[in-house]
Amino acid sequence: MAARIVVGSLAPQNWHRQARRLPTEKRFEYVLEKTIAASKRFGFRPMGIDFGLAGLPSRDPGYLDELAARLRESDLIPAVGFGGMRLSNDAEIRAESVDELKRNMEVVPRLGARRGFFGAAYFGRVMREGRIRFCIEMLRQIAPTAAELGLTITQENYDFFTSDDLVRICRGVAMPHVGVHSDTGNWLILGEDPVEATRKVLPHTLHAHVRDYVYENDTYNGVALGDGLVDFGQILPLLAEAPVEEIIFSVEVDTDDRDEDDAADRSFAYLRDWLARR
């Protein structure tokens, strides 16, 4: 059965060039208001919002409770990044990373979130098999905490883990609340066909970043959905078959030089119109 689709916004990336001109403590509020405005303008109720703990101006309990209330009042469904997994051959570094991830995960439900995500980084001496092995080992350590907190946790296809790697990791962990947030454009960075890679990781897909890229100046640069290289006619119906009751299609523009407001608005309009045609 097809999943219920909620349109979302990867808020800090969609307006990152505007936000970085502001004082650090004002940046999250800026992109939150942008997301609330988009929800009203395009009629997305509810609407998803992705952001990381690192981008919040405070972790004071009072602030977190106030933010959770605002998200509920605005009918926003949060997915919250809870840090980085350090894939090191040094067991002490891995242990410190696991402890930090567990501590950060405890903040995620306080914000009303049931989805958490993390990134992975490695030291250059750690080769592919080591990265996969360490990631499985560390996920097995943090996954029980996520389950206790009622969280699904995911990592994005970005930078170095291929679709085959991510499938191996998910199968190695073998827990249904641990999976992938499949980014439609980032498969290009990994040298993969976005449609085929999306299909390959679909059994483990719990969340989605919906973005488009063009290749220019030796760089994959973000553009409005439908303006770039990604075949959304095939990918969006695939993602709708993810093995979850509800999946957030979180728009991510992240453009280096286009008008951010125009690119975000046209991307939201693209998904709104696609959903209307389903």
What angle, rounded to 10 degrees, do the helices at 128-148 and 91-105 form?
30
Q: What is the pLDDT of residue 157?
A: 97
Q: How many angstroms separate the CA atoms of 71 and 50, rounded?
A: 12
**Assigned token pair, 51:** 């952001």
Overall residue count recorded for the chain in this entry: 278
Q: Could you count the other beta carbons within 10 Å of the beta carbon of residue 2?
A: 11
Q: What is residue 216's three-state secondary structure?
A: strand
Q: Rounded mean pLDDT of the chain?
A: 97
Task: Give the confidence band of 1 by pLDDT, cuts at 50, 70, 90.
Answer: low
Q: In this predicted model, what pLDDT tens digit does every residue of 251-267 receive, in sequence order?
A: 999 999 999 999 999 99
pLDDT of residue 147: 98
pLDDT for 72 beyond 60: yes
Q: Residue 37 — very low, low, confident or very high, per pLDDT cuts 50/70/90?
A: very high
pLDDT tens string 167-205:
999 999 999 999 999 999 999 999 999 999 999 999 999
Q: Under 8 Å CB-to-CB from 246, ≥6 apart: which residues?
A: 3, 4, 5, 6
Location of structure tokens 């505007």: 18
Task: Please count the structural domains in the chain.
Answer: 1
- In 3D space, the residue among 84, 13, 100 whose CA is nearest the CA of residue 51 turns out to be 13
What are 53's two structure tokens? 């703990």
Q: What pLDDT does 49 receive? A: 98
Tokens 């080992």, residue located: 137
The tokens describing 58, both together, are 């405070």
Summarize the confidence of residues 129-154 as an average pLDDT: 98
pLDDT score of 152 more than 60: yes
According to the model, what pLDDT value does residue 2 have?
77
Residue 3 confidence (pLDDT) above 90: no
The pLDDT assigned to 231 comes to 98
- Let me know if 271 is exposed, middle or buried by CB neighbors in 10 A (0-12, 13-18, 19+): buried
Helices 194-201 and 163-173 sit at what angle, rounded to 10 degrees? 10
For residue 61, pLDDT over 70 is answered with yes
212 Cβ contact partners less than 8 Å away, ≥ 6 residues apart: 184, 185, 222, 223, 224, 225, 226, 227, 228, 229, 230, 232, 267
CATH label of the domain that carries residue 180? 3.20.20.150
Coil/strand/helix, residue 63: helix
Q: What is the identity of the amino acid at 242?
A: A
Chain center to CA of 187: 14
* Mean pLDDT value across residues 8-27: 97
| Contact residues for 8 (Cβ-Cβ < 8 A; gap 6+) | 47, 48, 49, 50, 77, 79, 248, 249, 250, 251
Domain containing residue 164: 4-277
| Residue 150 CA, distance from chain mean position | 18
Instruction: Give the pair of three-digit tokens for residue 194.
Output: 């976005």
pLDDT band at 44, cuts 50/70/90?
very high
